[in-house]
C-alpha cells in the first residue's frame, strides 16, 4: 500500500505501517481517548492499530 504522508507514524509493529518509512498507509485513522479525563497525548491512542 502507498504511504499517506498526511499521517506520520513510527509504530512499525502495525500492519498499516509503511515499510521503510515513518508513515501510515491508511486514508484516515481513528484516534481515541484512553480515559474519561483526557489532558495529555499519552491519554490518547490510535484505534486503527492492527498488529502485524
pLDDT per residue over 10-52, tens digit each?
999 999 999 999 999 999 999 998 888 888 878 888 988 988 8
pLDDT value, residue 9: 95
The reply to whether 17 falls in a domain is yes
- Between 4 and 45, the higher pLDDT residue: 4
Report the C-alpha gap between 25 and 31 in whole angstroms.
Answer: 15
Evaluate whether residue 51 is within a structural domain. no
Query: Is 52 a member of any domain?
Result: no
> Would residue 12 count as lying in a domain?
yes
Q: How many structural domains compose the chain?
A: 1
**pLDDT value for 43:** 83
What residues are paired with 35 via a beta bridge?
A: none
CA neighbours within 13 Å on the CB side: how many for 32?
7
Total Cβ atoms within 10 A of residue 21: 14
Residue ranges making up the domain that contains 22: 4-46
Q: How far apart are CA 14 and CA 22, in angstroms?
A: 11
Residue matched to cell numbers 491508511: 26
Note the pLDDT of residue 37.
Answer: 83
pLDDT interval class at 1 (50, 70, 90) = confident
Question: Which pLDDT value is given to residue 17?
Answer: 96
Question: At which residue does the C-alpha cell 486503527 appear?
Answer: 48
Amino acid at each position: 500500500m502507498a504511504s499517506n504522508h498526511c499521517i506520520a507514524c513510527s509504530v512499525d509493529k502495525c500492519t498499516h505501517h509503511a515499510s521503510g518509512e515513518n508513515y501510515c498507509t491508511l486514508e484516515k485513522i481513528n484516534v481515541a481517548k484512553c480515559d474519561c479525563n483526557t489532558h495529555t497525548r499519552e491519554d490518547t491512542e490510535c484505534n486503527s492499530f492492527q498488529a502485524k
